[in-house]
Amino acid sequence: MLRIALTEKLKNKILVKGKKLPAFDSTTQGGDVSDEDEAGDMEDVERREVQKQLKENKEKKAKTIKLAKEFSDTVYLSSKHFNGIEEEMGARKPFEMSSFTESKALDLAKKSGQEFARYNSLFLSRMYPAGWRTNSSNYDPIPMWNVGAQIDRRRGNGCLQRALFGKWKLRLRLKPDFMLAENNNSVKREQPFHLTVLIISGQQLPTSSSDVTDPYVKVTMYGTDVTIEHKTEVVKNNGFNPVWKCQMSFDVQVPELSVMRFEVRDRDVGSKDDLQAQYSLPVMCMQEGYHHVMLRSPEGNELSSSTLFVHVSKTRAKRTSMEDENGG
C-alpha cells in the first residue's frame, strides 16, 4: 500500500532530470558541472565520431559548463554517467540516474540480468531507441521490463507496450514485489502453471489489398529468458470465418512477467506474410474458458468486428531452477 500511496503523490507532477550542482555548492549562486553525457554507450553509428573527438581531446582538460543555482534547484533527478553495476551499487545516490541505449541495456540484461534487476530496484534507469531507428520503429520492451527498467522513450503505443502499461495516458505499472525484495524467496509470488490455448476460429478478419486472404494465427508468449511460439495451419481464401481448432501449450514459469501476443497473418508466396491483426495481454489477465479475442490493427487501432474465438485452460506446474535464478 505504501508504494501505491507514493505513486498517487506523483500524479500530475513534473520531475525535472538534468545536471545538478553538488550538495556543497547549494548555497552559492551557481557553479561548474561536467558537460559529459550520462548515457552509458552510444550506438555504433554515433560512437565512431564520439570516440574520434574523445581521442583528439584526450590530453585536454574535461569540459565544464556553468549552471545557475536556481536551475539546479529545480532538478529532481540528477544525470550521471554509468560506470558499471558493481561500482554504482556502492557509490550512487538515490536521486542519480543514467540513460541507456537499447543495445547497452540488452547487453546488460543478457550478461548480468540478475545484477541489473537488483540495480534497477534501487535506482532509476531510462532506455531509449537506437540511433539507426530513423523509421520510428520501436525496440522490444519486454527484456527491459523484465530487468526492472522504469522509463523508456519508445515512440507511439505499440501492442506490447499497451499490454504492459495499458492505455497511452496511463503508461504506469507497479513492479512485482519480488523484483524489489533483497530476498526473493521471502515474497509471496504467483505459482507457475501450464497454459493451453485452443485457437478455434476467426470472425471477419481484415483482408489484404487483393481482398483474398489465406489466414493463420501465430501465438507468442514472452517470458523472462524464453520466448515460446506456435502457429496454426493456413486456411485458404477465407478471412470471413476460418476454422483452425489448433491446440497450443505454454509453460508459464514467471506469470508476473509473461505476455501473450496473438497475430493474424496472411500467407504470401514469395514475400513476407502480412500482419493483418493482433492483440497482446499479460498472461495473468487470461481467464479460463471460452473467449472472443478482440483484435486490433497492426497500428493498435480497434477493429470493431474482427475476433478470434479461443478456449483457455490452466494447470499448476513447478517452478524450474533456472527461473528461480533468473526470475527470483
Q: In whole angstroms, what is the distance from residue 36 CA to residue 44 CA? A: 18
Query: What are the pLDDT digits (tens) for 38-49?
Result: 554 444 444 555
Question: Which sequence spans correspond to the domains of the chain?
Answer: 11-155, 193-327
Residue 237 pLDDT grade (very low, low, confident, very high; cuts 50, 70, 90): very high
250 vs 62, which has greater pLDDT? 250
CATH architecture label of 193-327: Sandwich (2.60)
pLDDT per residue as tens digits for the range 207-229: 866 667 899 999 999 987 678 99
166 pLDDT band (50/70/90 cuts)? low
Strand pairing partners for 281?
260
199 in Cβ contact with 246 (< 8 Å) = yes
pLDDT of residue 27: 53
Rounded to two decimals, the pTM is: 0.76
**Contact predicate 160/222, CB 8 Å:** yes
Half-sphere exposure of 122 (CA within 13 A, CB side): 14
Task: State how far the Cα of 146 lies from the Cα of 316, in Å rounded to an integer.
Answer: 22
